Amino acid sequence: MKKTLILIICGLLLSGCFVVSRGVVPINPMSSQWGGRFAGGNYASNGEQIYFTAVNEDGQNIRYSGGPAIGGMMMGAYNDLACVSCHGADGRGGLHTMHMDVMDAPDIRISVLSSEEEEEHAETSSHADQHAEYGLEDFRRAVIEGTHPDGKPLNRDMPRWQMNDDDLSDLFEYLASLP
């Protein structure tokens, strides 16, 4: 009876690792529901494939370092993480729980990132007609270096991806295509 009760409690605690609180944010990047790496999904572009699988069209794994080391899940030893894992199938991000740690993944659609840059630039600029656009170099800094365009570090949950320029550009184009 005690063992059964302990198993039930452990099961309930572990189920907290898979709770989606807001938005549609997958916790298991391997899930075929999300086009995970083993799902054999059909992707319209290299950028879309990288977003959903962290594998480029040549079959090369896109490795990463950093990110939260919660339970060893995101240590980079295996490519068990893709952009979709945190930012969701539509790139809008959301609040979710991973191993009982709450993570608020931002919306990474380029249209949204550009509008945030324009708002920030308008607040700091004396010229109302000038506006910034979130470009490929800003994206590279975020994805590769883990920094905002102003140089401030991104949240510790953001891994640093090891991606070549072509793959980075393709991923940027895919995120720019999202409505």
pLDDT of residue 29: 43
Those residues whose C-beta lies under 8 Å from the C-beta of residue 129, and which sit 6 or more positions away, are none
Q: What's the mean pLDDT in 1-24? A: 49
Write the pLDDT tens digit of every residue in 63-115. Answer: 999 876 544 444 444 457 899 988 999 999 998 776 677 888 999 999 999 88
Most confident of 16-20, 71-75, 130-134, 148-152: 148-152
Domain boundaries, the chain: 2-177
| Whole-number Å distance between alpha carbons of 160 and 145 | 6
Mean of per-residue pLDDT scores for the chain: 75
pLDDT of residue 174: 98
pLDDT of residue 6: 59
Q: What's the mean pLDDT in 170-175? A: 98
| Whole-number Å distance between alpha carbons of 49 and 117 | 27
Residue % of the chain over a pLDDT of 90: 47
pLDDT of residue 144: 97
Q: What's the mean pLDDT in 159-177? A: 97
Query: What's the pTM value of the predicted model, to 2 decimals?
Result: 0.70
| Whole-number Å distance between alpha carbons of 133 and 135 | 6
3-state secondary structure the chain: CHHHHHHHHHHHHHHHHHCECCCCCCCCCCCHHHCCCCCCCCCCCHHHHHHHHCECCCCCECEEEECCCCCCCCCCCCCCCCHHHHHCCCCCCEEEEECCEEEEECCCCHHHHHHHHHHHHHHHCCCCCCCCCCCHHHHHHHHHHCECCCCCECCCCCEEEECCHHHHHHHHHHHHHCC
| Whole-number Å distance between alpha carbons of 109 and 117 | 13
Q: Are 61 and 79 in contact (CB under 8 A)?
A: yes
pLDDT of residue 35: 42
